[in-house]
């Protein structure tokens, strides 16, 4: 079973998820400005929270955007989800990625809460035929990629975001925001479904200042060099 094979990695996924959700006050999120992402953590929140949830389509859109940002799914992966792929109790979704490879990805309580609300209040009224897809269009069938692009553009306009915003924007932001908050690259690689870790490194586009700070914080030799430098400075001062 795929779930059994991924169990050893799941605790790392949960740690990474907590890093993304810790301190969820959007005002406290730092600015991040590199290509392929929303400009800042606040912008990611604004994009996700933009849909009008008083409307059925808006509640569906909010659930989908929350899930995209919480899990870093590809557009095709999110649109291919079935109801049974969501495990509310364990807090993950089962995804079929490129090459038909399966993986477990944590979704986070906030995203799953919106998905649950959509499932219980909107989807039963939308479904018109026996469609297993989680996210439906107004006709009761599975949402298309074009529909997803449309809702992303509408959300971006409502959030006041400028520049090109696409479904991939939230996937890039998911990965880079996790890494910036201290998640390890291997966990992010597994969640994104990348076979080669070099793809994850290129994909995230972390600015050099962030990479340098992460190196100084986590590499033991870097910490030792810093301590030696401070000690020598004190010797010279004395």
- Is residue 171 part of the annotated active site? The answer reads yes
Q: Please give the pLDDT value at position 228.
A: 42
Pick the catalytic residue: 98, 116, 157, 217? 98
The pTM is what?
0.71
Query: Active site includes 98?
Result: yes
Summarize pLDDT for 87-131 with one digit per residue, the tens: 999 999 999 888 788 888 888 899 999 999 999 999 999 887 789
Q: How far is CA 197 from CA 188, 211, 218, in A?
A: 9, 16, 19
**In a structure prediction context, what are the per-residue pLDDT tens digits for the chain, which is 238 residues long?**
444 444 444 444 444 444 444 433 333 333 333 344 454 678 888 999 999 999 999 999 999 999 999 888 999 999 999 999 999 999 999 998 887 888 888 888 999 999 999 999 999 998 877 899 999 999 999 999 999 999 999 999 999 987 788 888 888 888 888 877 777 778 888 888 887 777 777 666 666 566 566 666 666 666 554 444 444 443 444 4
The yes-or-no answer on residue 26 being catalytic is no
Question: Is there a catalytic annotation at residue 125?
Answer: no
The residue behind tokens 């991924």 is 6
Q: Is 24 a catalytic residue?
A: no
> Which one of the listed residues 62, 103, 171, 172 is annotated catalytic?
171
> How far is it between the farthest Cα atoms of the chain?
81
Instruction: Using alpha carbons, list the distances in angstroms from residue 128 to 100, 123, 214.
Output: 28, 10, 50
Q: How many CB atoms lie within 10 A of CB 76?
A: 14
Provide the phi-psi class of 36: left if phi over 0, else alpha when psi is between -120 and 50, else beta.
left
Helix axes of 220-237 and 208-218: crossing angle, nearest 10 degrees: 80
Reference 150, options 170, 174, 167; nearest CA is 167
Tell me which of 9, 12, 153, 168 is the catalytic residue: 168
Choosing from 9, 14, 74, 110, the catalytic residue is 74
- Distance separating alpha carbons of residues 179 and 224, to the nearest angstrom: 23
Q: Is 74 a catalytic residue?
A: yes
């Amino acid at each position: 079973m795929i779930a059994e094979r991924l169990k050893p990695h799941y605790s790392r996924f949960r740690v990474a998820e907590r890093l993304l959700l810790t301190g969820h006050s959007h005002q406290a999120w730092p600015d991040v400005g590199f290509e392929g992402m929303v400009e800042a953590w606040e912008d990611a929140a604004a994009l996700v929270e933009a849909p009008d949830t008083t409307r059925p389509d808006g509640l569906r859109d909010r659930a989908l955007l929350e899930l995209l940002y919480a899990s870093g799914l590809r557009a095709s992966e999110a649109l291919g989800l079935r109801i049974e792929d969501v495990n509310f109790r364990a807090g993950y979704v089962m995804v079929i990625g490129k090459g038909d490879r399966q993986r477990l990805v944590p979704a986070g309580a906030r995203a799953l809460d919106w998905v649950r609300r959509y499932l219980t209040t909107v989807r039963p009224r939308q479904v018109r035929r026996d469609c297993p897809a989680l996210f439906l269009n107004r006709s009761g069938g599975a949402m298309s990629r074009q529909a997803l692009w449309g809702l992303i553009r509408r959300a971006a306009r409502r959030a006041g975001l400028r520049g090109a915003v696409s479904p991939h924007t939230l996937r890039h932001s998911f990965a880079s925001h996790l890494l910036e908050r201290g998640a390890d690259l291997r966990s992010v690689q597994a969640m994104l479904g990348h076979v080669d870790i070099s793809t994850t490194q290129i994909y995230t586009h972390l600015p050099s200042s962030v990479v340098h700070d992460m190196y100084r914080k986590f590499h033991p030799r870097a910490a030792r060099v810093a301590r030696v430098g401070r000690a020598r400075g004190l010797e010279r001062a004395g």
